[in-house]
Every structure is written in structure tokens, then in C-alpha cells.
A and B are shown apart, each in its own frame.
Chain A
Amino acid sequence: MLLILSEPGDATVRMVLPKLKARGAEVVWWDPARYPAAAHLTARFKAGGPHLTLVTGGESVDLSRTTAVWYRRPGRPTAAPDVTAGDLRTRVEELSEWFLEGFWDLLDARWLPGRHPVLRRAHNKLVHLALAERLGFAVPPTVITNDPAELAPAYERAGGRLIAKPVEYVPFEIDGARHTVYTTVVQRRDLAGRARLAHEPTILQPYVGKAVELRVTVVGRQVFAAEIASQDSARTRDDWRHYDFDRARHSVHHLPDDVARRCVDLVAALGVTFGAIDLILTPDGEYVFLEINPNGQWAWIEDLTGLPIGDAIADWLVAGETDL
């Protein structure tokens, strides 16, 4: 039995679900956000190993039969509506998170992309930058700091072409409207704001010239490389996440074998089974590592390039072997 942990509106799961059904898989798709308000979970400890049960919507599911888990976009546990006191809601939800972390740990199954603590570590840019460098990736000389005194020297070392980016995506608002921190090119006058650096850790890297950018999706040991012509649009030149699908076209890219192997090695070394890796191909033909998102989106890449990532995920989930 396959267990998919994700929110009910997850379009990516909807893409893969028919492929799983076509492969004859028994699938349970459940969102932990329903716990404990609308679902019961029970862990029974007995000889022969723990027994795990989910009761939801009037049905009981023996989760001990789970062979693979797809940890996609699970919601956070939610207290029942009648738990109204703020501190009690917080208590319920924190306890539930603790419980779930242990509950999932007991599942003797294969995980895609990995269990939560493993994912959290793999997602950390400090961790994966260091690992990528050890594995032989070209990595921009990077400083991650909240020391204001580091900004001007980094700018000078980069020859006046410096970028800044956050260590992790954390939502925030300015004047009530959601804002996003993209990769930001540091202008000379921006150095005047160096004191602001003290307020959060910031990644400082020299601007890497781009021929194209690459989104490499690794599923198990399979590698799917897509090329994003980010330099064809003023909008996406510094950060393709500004998206301009008309101009910044997506196409299949053939990675050199050594780079592809390094991508697989990185995913494996991080202890995960999936990874969305961002690389730059420089005008000189060098592949430069930027970061890996071990639970990154891929559906739009499949839509635009036809790369069969969804099939690979379905295959991995239904396969009995761990070394697909």
C-alpha cells in the first residue's frame, strides 16, 4: 500500500495518481492537517513490531501495510474547532507534531523524498552547499553571514557583481501584502544598507554568468535535466522564478555524464530519494551548483518539456527495490 501525505488540492499528486492506479497500486492519500481534528491515529506496541492505524472518514486503515510513502505537501496538524483557547490549540498542535514525527518514524517503508528530519537537513543550504563542493561540483565562492562588515568586502571580491539571497523561504508581508525575496543583485548604493544585514543570515555570492539555467530533477537514480533559457527574458535574467514562459523557454538538456552522476550522488549523500537541483551552465561551459530542493516542484517541467518525471515517481513508489 502506498501512503501519500499531502494537502487535498495538490495538483502534482493528481498528476501521478492515475499512473499509480495504472500500475495497480493501492493508494491512501491523506493530509496530516486533518489530525487530530478529523482523524484518529493509534500506535500499538506489541511483539512483532508496532501496529499503526488511521481512522478517517469512518474508515480504518492499517498503515503498518505501507510499503512506500510519498511525503509531498503535508499540512500541519490542526486542533478541532472546539479547542478555542489559543494556548490549548498551540499545545494540541505541538503535541500532534511530536506524535506524528514519531508515528512516521515507525513506518517501515521507503520514503520519497525522505522522512521529515532528513528532508529538513537536506534542504539546509549550508549543509548541501558544503556537500556539493565535497562531491566535486563547482560552487560559487559563498559567504553566509549576518555580519554587516562582510558586505562591502564581498562586493569588492565579486568585482561589483554580487548577489544576495536568503538561506530559506519564509513567508512575510510588507504593508499587508505578501512579498518574496528573489535572488537580488547588490548595487553599489545598496551597500549603504549594510547595517540591515545584522538582522538575518544572508547568502552572498558573486554573480555567475549564465548561458542557460538548469533544473535537474533526480528520482532515485534517474536524472531529468531541463534547460531554462532565462537569459532570453529581462524578467528572468537574474532569477528564473520571475517566470516568463513565452521567452524563457524550457527544453530538455543533456547533462554530461559526470555532472549527472554527481547529481545522483548528492541526492543519495543527503539521504533523500528525490531532489530538484538548480545549476547554471556558464557561457564557458561550466556547470555551477546553486542549490537543491529535496521536495521541489517538477510538474511544470514535465508540462513544458515532456520529461517523464511523474512516471519515474510512480515507478519508484511501486517498486519493491530500494536501489531503482
Chain B
Amino acid sequence: MTQPALGAALESGVSLLRGLTRRRSAVDDARRAAATWAAAHPSLAAQLVSNPRPGSPIVDYDLLIDDPEGGTIMLGVQPDDGTSWLVDHSTHWAAGNLLSVDGMQISVPEAMLMLRSLTRAGLSPQEELVRFCVLRGAAAKEEVDLDDVQAAADAFRRRHGLLTGEAMRKWLERMGMSAEAFHDHMVTNAKDQRFRTRKRAELAPEYLSRHRDRFARVWAVWAVSGEPVDPAELDGSLGDRWDVRVSRVRAWSGELPEPLRAVPAGGEAGPVPFEDGHLTGAVLKREDAVADADTLAAAGTAAFDDWLAEAAERARVTWHWL
């Protein structure tokens, strides 16, 4: 390529860059335009480089082309579109946040910490994060002392298998977290725990009185199988049947599979369609609910879960990245 030809190519390249829309949503169009341009200038081996700015919809473009005398020329154009330098380098207000719940911003690092504690089956990570945030907001004003914080830290370390100082140190290093930041995190956990305990105790009596049917103590046995099982077979004579899941439990009536929950002592249920197969079961013994400590604790746990689910349902939630 001759020097005048290069001049014309540079002018054309600048013109290409001027015409590109500097938005993330327009990058594919920009690539197509650049590919067309490159095809029209095969000796330049042109490549478009897009550089989306973090936390912003704005994208910068550079065009790399071969210098006929050897090496590479990079073309970049900043059109004067009336946007000031600072505005052009501004950040979306929620760029560092994953979500907002009732006005409370949850940063990406906070969300990552929360995600490590997600445990509930049947809930999506998004649903659990919202519940975490609702809980955190509600628990923010709880007063905790050093013993509470120590208990939260001990529980956290047990849950994560961080049983030695060395394991703890390595974990903090991996998380990029200082000991002080871990302490703060445990203060938050302790507040959550205190609020949870207080709220459970507060909600339990009324919840139990409204849902006594869920807190009868029951001794039950059931089988879940592909083929229907006769109740008489539950006494252990399952014969040649295989791939049968048999459960024999002492539980609260509300924890039983739905077809068994209202079955009286000595009663049977099934075989009935259940999940992907059939369920057959029997309630061997049943004691009506009483407001003892164990029952109130179970009622408090269930009441708290309901309260949290309802609060999460009511919360104003904005996902900033989904």
C-alpha cells in the first residue's frame, strides 16, 4: 500500500469509527460494520477492539490496522457529541450493587458472602438473597454483645469446617477479607440470629394455635415407589420390590408427605400418585399438639419462615444485573 493510499484508508477508518454507536447494545452492529470495512481493505488486516466501560453503557472502540512500513497503527476517535469528559466517564448509580431491597443496596461482595450461606432447598438463589436482605434490614437495629458475636463466629467456623487458626487464616486470605471485616460480618450474623430468635418466640404461640394440625407428633411409615405398593406390604414384606424409598419417622404432622398429614393414628393412605411415582403410608401413632418447648420451637421456625416469605413478597426488589 502506498502512502497516499494509507492516508485514504486512515480517513476512511476514522469515518468508520465516527459512525459507530458507543453503547454496549450496539457492539454487534459495530463489529459487523468493521468487518465490512476490513473486507474492503484486505491489506490492512483490520481488527475492531471494543472496550465497554465498567458500570456504564458506554463503549470505546479502537481500530487496529497494519502499517505498510511495518508495525501496527491504532485508530481511536472521540467524537464531540456534547457529552462532557466527566459524564462520559460516569458510573451507573447501582454499578457495584447486585440488587436493592426496600431501598437497601446490596453490593456484589455482600451478595457473594450471602450466597455462601444459601441452604434452602426449593428456593432459587434470587429468592434466598431477597430473604437475606429482608432479614438484614429487619435485624439492623438488634443489639448484640461480644458473646453473641463469638457464638456467631463459632457457628460460622463449624459450618465451614474452619476449625483451626490456619484454616481460618487461609479462608480470610482467599476471601480477601481482613480479621476486622470478618468481625463486622459476624456482628451482622449475630444480629440476624438474635432477631430470628426473638421473632420466632414472638410468633410461635399464635402460629401454633392457628396451625395445631401441623404440630401433632406422629410416628409414620411410608414408601414412595414407581409401582403402587399395598399398605400391607409396609410391615417389611416388600418381597422382590426394589427401588422403593421407605421412610419411618417421628415427626410433626406438617412435615409428613401431604397425603399422610391428616391420617389418624392407625390409619393408612395410598397408594396415591406422588411426585414421579406412588406413595403408600400409615400413621402408627399420633399425639395432638401441645404447647411444650419443642413444639413451640418448631412452630416458631415455621412461623418465621412464613413471615420472611411474606415480607420478601412485599419487598420492593430491583435486580441491577439480571
Contacts and interface: CB of A to CB of B under 8 A. Distances in A.
Interface of A: 151, 164-166, 172, 174-175, 177-182, 184, 189-190, 192-197, 199-200, 202, 232-233, 235, 242-247, 249
Interface in B73-126: 76-78, 80, 82-93, 96, 105, 107, 109-110, 113
Given A174-B57, A199-B82, 8 more contacts: A175-B23, A178-B93, A179-B91, A181-B90, A195-B80, A199-B83, A232-B181, A235-B107
Contacts of B143: none
A202 B57 contact: no
Contact of B184 (A181, A189, A195, A246): A246
Contact of A235 (B76, B93, B96): B96
Interface of B: 23, 56-58, 60, 76-78, 80, 82-93, 96, 105, 107, 109-110, 113, 176-178, 180-181, 184-185
B80 A244 contact: no
B60 A189 contact: yes
The SS class assigned to the B binding surface is mixed
Contact of B78 (A196, A199, A242, A246): A196
A199 B107 contact: no
A202 B184 CA distance: 37
A199 B92 contact: no
Nearest to B83: A196
Contacts of B93: 177-180
A175 B58 CA distance: 10
A297 to B, nearest CB: 15
Contact of A193 (B56, B85, B177, B181): B85
A235 B85 contact: no
B25 to A, nearest CB: 9
A192 B22 CA distance: 15
Contacts of B92: 174, 177-179
Given A174-B58, A200-B84, A179 B90 contact: yes
20 contacts: A174-B92, A177-B92, A179-B56, A179-B87, A179-B90, A180-B90, A181-B89, A184-B89, A189-B60, A192-B78, A195-B80, A196-B88, A235-B107, A243-B105, A246-B109, A246-B177, A246-B184, A247-B176, A247-B177, A249-B181
Contacts of B105: 243
A244 B109 contact: yes
Given A179-B93, A195-B78, A195-B80, A247 B86 contact: no
A243 B83 CA distance: 27
A246 B91 CA distance: 22
A182 B184 contact: no
Contacts of B90: 172, 174, 179-182
Which of B80, B84, B96, B176: most chain A CB closer than 10 A? B84
Given A179-B56, A196-B80, A246 B113 contact: yes
Contacts of A192: 76-78
